Structure 1
Amino acid sequence: MKQISKIPLLIITGPTASGKTSVAVKVAKKLDGEIISADSMLIYRYMNIGTAKPTPEEMEGVPHYLIDIVDPDDKFSVQIYQRLAREAIQNIYGRGKIPILAGGTGFYVDSVIYNYDFGFSGVDQEYRSFLQQIAEEKGKQTIHNMLKQVDPEAAERIHPNNLKRVIRALEIVRQAGRTGSIARSDYKNEYESYNMLLTGLYYDRNKLYQRIETRVDQMVARGLVEEVSNLLKAGYQKELASMQGLGYKEIIGYLLNEYSLEEAVMILKRNTRRFAKRQLTWFKRYSNINWIDMENYDTIDQTADDIVKLWDSTVGAEIKKKEK
């Protein structure tokens, strides 16, 4: 591939259980691409079933990056993710392949496609990432309630939907041990280095919820309880950010005799449905997203074909024009 000014980047995102992994693999094979994961749980080793981590068979020989790169108790942040993802995109493109960013962690996607600057004073990025993960899984109100407990005045001033300011207020309390003024620095700008096509997969809500429930049942059948039990036995504490992920915290409750396995599965299904709803809300903020209705297709190959056609008519066409 002839080098051009902007790196072509295909993004495939959407809520959990929408088929991102399988679609991305098919698209990668058709475009001669390689995949960078944008999933905050796939970075962890030993956490396979609860994260729906793709198996080597499911990868179909397509190289994947940012999967199995840290242990469950290692420190990791979106700042580190941003650096590694952009390095992977550059390396993939440098070898003449199409980089494909695939995953459903909105904050990770944002860190790549926007020019997030993590260098301003007083940033505790690990703590921010932890709070962001809670917000994605449990909702913005949960984070706002945390602020109410430690800084009621700030909570009164800041709307629960203004997640960035809520997190910043909590960060100040954590760092200074007291309340403080809210930093108003806006550190998000569009990243200019990529020529992007942003696609989002979706199903009708009822169909998506059915897929979620089926996936959870399959996880349990594949040995989710044993996986979580082995992690605890290996010394990974339940308080770790990794162990607070969907599929892990619910099973931990069962293993600690807080409720039955049947209740754990019900809670996991409920929490995953809520998470999917929040993901959709997150991705609907993107004005340039191309939504792909998965119910319009009989096979994954058909879905991939349409994404390739969309790519060829947009970014692909621009590449060919500049190469002439």
Structure 2
Amino acid sequence: MSNKMPVINIMGPTASGKTALACELYERGEYEIISVDSALIYRDMDIGSAKPSKAEQERYPHHLIDIISPLEVYSAAQFVEDATRLIDEIHARGKTPILVGGTMLYFKALLEGLATNLPNASPDVRQEIEANAALNGWESVFEELKRVDPVAGEKFKVSDRQRIIRALEVFKLTGKPITQLQAEQPKQLSYRYNYHNYALVPDRLELHNRIEIRLKNMWDIGFLSEVEYLIEKYDLNENLPSARSVGYRQALDFLTNSDRSHKSKQDMEDKSLFATRQLAKRQYTWLRSLQEVHSMQNFLTIKQAQEDLRNLHG
């Protein structure tokens, strides 16, 4: 019997029902919820991130929601630091933490640790990279990355702008490829907790249907008005990590670069649907990768998860 403190991880693609499952467990009174979502961290980004409503958050409090403005940057390392602090605080209160979300990089960082031999971010270097992209295009920047770090070039796509920026930033600061530094860093597995890993993995067609319904609801309740507000309040632009979240990226492009015609709006909605489905596909890929290393129980439906977790004890 392990004497390590328990942590419940509930993972899954977008719209799979993770939050509803976590909230049901919360009702038992012995758990607290920590969000593992790189979009929910931003204040005022509510509709497009499918953030729990204020009423839902009052009933089911979530840690790590609304912690920074859309102008700020938040890393996986910051998540691990915040999450482990919260996990320890929750355990000290005699409860069990439930970590729920779809940002698999955060889960991977928590479960496996992060390389500690990488330099901190450099605003000057990042500005230089983004200026090069604005002048010569992201294809040119991606070609530069492939020259200095072929391994990263094989792993990344030209659309992975944040990863490209970070990889080039590390090379410019150290003279070494980020993939080399990561390989040289021994894995620092977290042995502090006893992780119970669960994944909601609905049938793809069912998930696609849920995504379509969720997006339609977003448009109906005023998602575009939310993005207009963000542009006005924060001068939201495509260079901010927050604006690259699926849905926000397409809405921002529509509002700032299109004629706002009915056709352009329909194109934007179609692009958002496609991008969200692609996000879900990447999340499935991440899950398979994590399952190769970590013990994990899969559920095809929320009902199955509810039945299997009914007798769950931290």
- Normalising by the smaller structure, the TM-score range is 0.7 to 0.9
Q: What CA distance in whole angstroms lies between the structure 2 residues aligned with 1:5 and 1:68?
A: 33
**How far off its partner does 1:79 sit?**
1.4
In 2, the alpha carbon distance for the partners of 1:229 and 1:187 equals 45
Q: Does 2:305 correspond to 1:303?
A: yes
Answer whether contact 1:44 1:70 (CA < 8 A) is retained: yes
Aligned to 1:230: 229
Matches within 5 A, 1:7-86: 7-30=5-28, 32-59=30-57, 61-86=59-84
Determine if contact 2:146/2:152 at 8 Å carries over to the other structure: no
Q: Structure 1: which amino acid aligns with 2:289? A: R
How far the C-alpha of 1:158 sits from its partner, in A, is 5.0
**Cα distance in structure 2, aligned partners of 1:60 and 1:107:** 28
Contact preservation (8 Å) 1:44, 1:68: yes
Q: 1:263 to 1:152 in 2, by over 3 A?
A: same
Letter aligned with residue 143 of structure 2: Q
Q: Deviations over 1:36-90 (max 9, x none)?
A: 0000011100000000001133346232100001111123222111111111111
Q: Matches of 1:232 and 1:258 in 2, distance apart?
A: 15
2:267 — aligned with what? Answer: 263
The alignment partner of 1:30 has SS state of: coil
Measure how far apart 1:169 and its partner are: 4.2
Contact 1:15–1:280 (8 Å) recurs in 2: yes
Partner in structure 1 of residue 117 of structure 2: 120
How many residue pairs align between the two structures?
285
1:320 match: none
SS of the residue corresponding to residue 189 of structure 1 reads coil
Question: What's the TM-score, normalizing by structure 2?
Answer: 0.81
State the percentage of identical aligned residues: 32
Match of 2:298 in 1: 291
How far the C-alpha of 1:155 sits from its partner, in A, is 4.9
The correspondence for 1:279, drawn from 270, 277, 283, is: 283
The one-letter code of the counterpart of 1:99 is: P
Q: What letter corresponds to residue 78 of structure 1 in structure 2?
A: A
Equivalent position SS for 1:197: strand
Q: Is the 8 A contact 1:33 1:98 kept in 2?
A: yes
Where do 5+ consecutive residues of structure 1 fail to align?
Answer: 128-142, 317-324
Return the letter of the residue paired with 2:225.
E
Deviation at 1:186, TM superposition (A): 2.9
CA spacing shift, 1:41–1:26, aligned 2, 3 Å: same
Q: Within 2, Cα distance between the matches of 1:55 and 1:22?
A: 13
Aligned to 1:242: 242
Contact 1:34 1:64 in 2 (8 A): yes
Alignment of 1:199 with 2:206, yes or no, is no
TM-score by length of 1: 0.79
For residues 244 and 159 of structure 1, do their structure 2 counterparts lie closer, same or farther at Cα, with a shift above 3 Å needed? closer
Q: Which residue of 1 aligns with 2:88?
A: 90
Which segment is superposed worse, 188-197 or 42-51? Answer: 188-197
Q: Structure 2 stretches of 5 or more lacking a match?
A: 125-137, 158-162
User: Conserved in 1, the CA contact under 8 Å of 2:122 and 2:169?
Assistant: no
Shift in Å at residue 159 of structure 1?
Answer: 6.0
- What's the CA shift string for 1:224-252, capped at 9, x where partnerless? 00000000011333121101111111001
- In structure 2, distance between residues paired with 1:44 and 1:124: 20
Q: 1:252 aligns to what?
A: 252
Structure 1 pair 250–25 and aligned structure 2 pair: CA distance change class (3 A): same
* Alignment of 1:185 onto 2:160: no
CA distance in 2, matches of 1:205, 1:77: 29
- Kept in 1, the 8 Å contact 2:118–2:170? The answer is no
Root mean square deviation of aligned Cα = 2.8
| Aligned-pair CA distance for 1:284 | 1.1
Shift of 1:196: 1.1
Query: 1: CA distance between counterparts of 2:164 and 2:187?
Result: 16
Residues 146 and 36 of structure 1: is their aligned pair in 2 closer, same or farther, counting only changes over 3 Å?
Answer: farther
Q: Secondary structure at the match of 2:199?
A: strand
Q: Provide closer, same or farther for how the CA distance between residues 68 and 187 of structure 1 changes in structure 2, counting only shifts above 3 A.
A: farther
